[in-house]
Amino acid sequence: MSVLQSHVATGGEEFRRNRDAYAGLIAQLHRRRSEYEGMGQRARDRHESLGKLLPRDRVDVLLDPGSPFLELGELAGIDMYDSVPPGAGIITGIGQVGGVSCMIIANDAPVKGGTYYTMTAKKHVRAQKIAWQHRLPNITLVDSGGANLPEQPGIFPDVGQYGSVFNQLVRQSAEGIPQISVVHGACTAGGTYVPALCDITIIVREQGYLHLGGPELTFAATGEDVDRETLGGAQMHSSISGVTDYLAENDRHALAMVRDVVGDTCRRAPLARAVRTPAEPRYDPGEIHGLIPEDPRLPADIREILARLVDDSYFDEFKLRYGESLICGFAYIGGFKVGILANQGVIFSDSALKAVHFIDLCCKQDIPLLFMADNSGFMVGREAEHGGISKDGAKMITAMASANVPKYNIIIGKSYGAGYMAMCSRPFEPHFAFGWPNGRAALMGPEQAAITLAMVQRQKRARDGEDWPAEAEEAFKEPIRRDFEAFASMYNFAANLWIDGILDPAETRQVMTLLLDLAARVPGQASPFGVLRM
């Protein structure tokens, strides 16, 4: 292996301009993450006045003191719903409970009563899927008014919506993945089945309520007049119905019980992949901010970025002089071996073939793959087509899709068209997908989209014998650029859960270390490849 040597003048003018421009993107990221704190204060005050811990405080109390919590989907639903802060009314993330890595799913009751919007259901399902893939115990902290009724089409009828929560609970339990829940507050209608389907359920006295139909619905349906406590309170379910297994006196008591249950029923899986002593990069990861060009049309020097990401800045580059627009190589992050594929421009046929060879090597050695996307797609034009770019690109996509090793996608720059697909984006179900604040992803870049659609419009007008002045063409292009730019933003991708979150580049090493540790505790799988067109 060789040490990556940095040749960047970190005291130079270009680095300073880049760093200062990126500081604005980082400030925006922190501002958007913190929007949660500025909304719903009255609801939070009312929640606490009932003697309840706030949902995020519940998570803090549950986790091992001082341990990290990787929040996932924290920007889900952002700007989609009126008066709903980032997160879509549910908190999901990975943290340690008694030394065991667990998936934590907590309804955020102060946000619209913890009711489920389309993105709430999607986020819950996504968290469960991550837990399933990594065999993590699921701990669900229930405090929800159920479905937000106007959102019915996005919650009720289809796969990947709220019904999939039930399906995944059952399937994971059947595979021996622990399912634990706490009823901290309301749990009504179909939501009742979340704690009822869990392996172990705790309920808080005079605070948790669990019923298919509340007092009002019961009266309307049967004429029976019954109070909430008698109908579905903690004492009743713990002593009469048997729906719940443990009765807690308050939130803190319930969370202490969860910790005991995890200690009794869960264990930390041993490492199935070798790990070596981690070593910090030889260059400061915070310097990545100054490496990303202020002009988003320009690519960053990926080797300079890798020198600040991988252990000891060591990178064993594969096929150094071949397919130079795609950098491939072996490295370690946090002591875990990883195969890295990173763009350094448009993808050519030789780059695609290099990727196939490298992915095959990693699959045979059970080495996880990290795809760092910064490309405008595959090369186009007569020479590229005659050279077989379509079949070579198809080989790369086949190898990437067939690989059953852990896969990760980070959009660190541009990620357009088929290049977005080839770098293991969400449609190919990487274990995790993230973006950096400067990242962009779309069918094509804003300018290319504007030119393409303008050409179509110009040809149509020419057929009709119409003149189209340059000013009118520019007026036609401008909204197209705006629309594509807005779509391509990582905030749009995070809102729709097309990525699991937006990372500060300086956070990336720590996040990847945690994720590689999770993956290293799951046995590997064989990777039979699809047909590679010759």
Domain ranges of the chain: 10-39+275-439+489-534, 41-265, 443-488
Cβ(378)–Cβ(388) below 8 Å = no
The residue ranges of the chain whose pLDDT is under 70 are 1, 38-39
pLDDT for position 134:
98
What Å distances lie between residue 477 and 444, 469, 484, CA to CA?
14, 13, 11
Angle at 260 between CA 256 and CA 265, to 5 degrees: 145
Residue matched to tokens 């009742």:
192
**CA distance linking residue 105 with residue 125, whole number of Å:** 10
Structural contact between residues 142 and 179, judged by C-beta atoms closer than 8 angstroms: no
Q: Which amino acid is at 181?
A: S
| Closest to 107 (Cα-Cα) out of 148, 167, 154 | 148
**What is the pairing mode between strands 407-416 and 440-442?**
parallel
Element (H, E) at 511: helix 508-519
Same fold, 10-39+275-439+489-534 and 41-265: yes
pLDDT in tens, 412-448: 999 999 999 999 999 999 999 999 999 999 999 999 9
Give the span between the Cα atoms of 402 and 408, in whole angstroms: 14
Residue 352 gets which letter from DSSP?
A: H
CATH class, 10-39+275-439+489-534 region: alpha beta
Task: Name which of 36, 61, 4, 63 is nearest 312 in CA terms.
Answer: 4
Looking at residue 49, its pLDDT comes to 85
* Angle (nearest 5°) at CA 40 between 37 and 46: 115
* pLDDT value at residue 39: 65
- How many CA within 13 A on the CB side of residue 497? 21
Instruction: Output the CATH code of domain 41-265.
Output: 3.90.226.10
Backbone angles phi, psi at 302, to 5 degrees: -65, -30
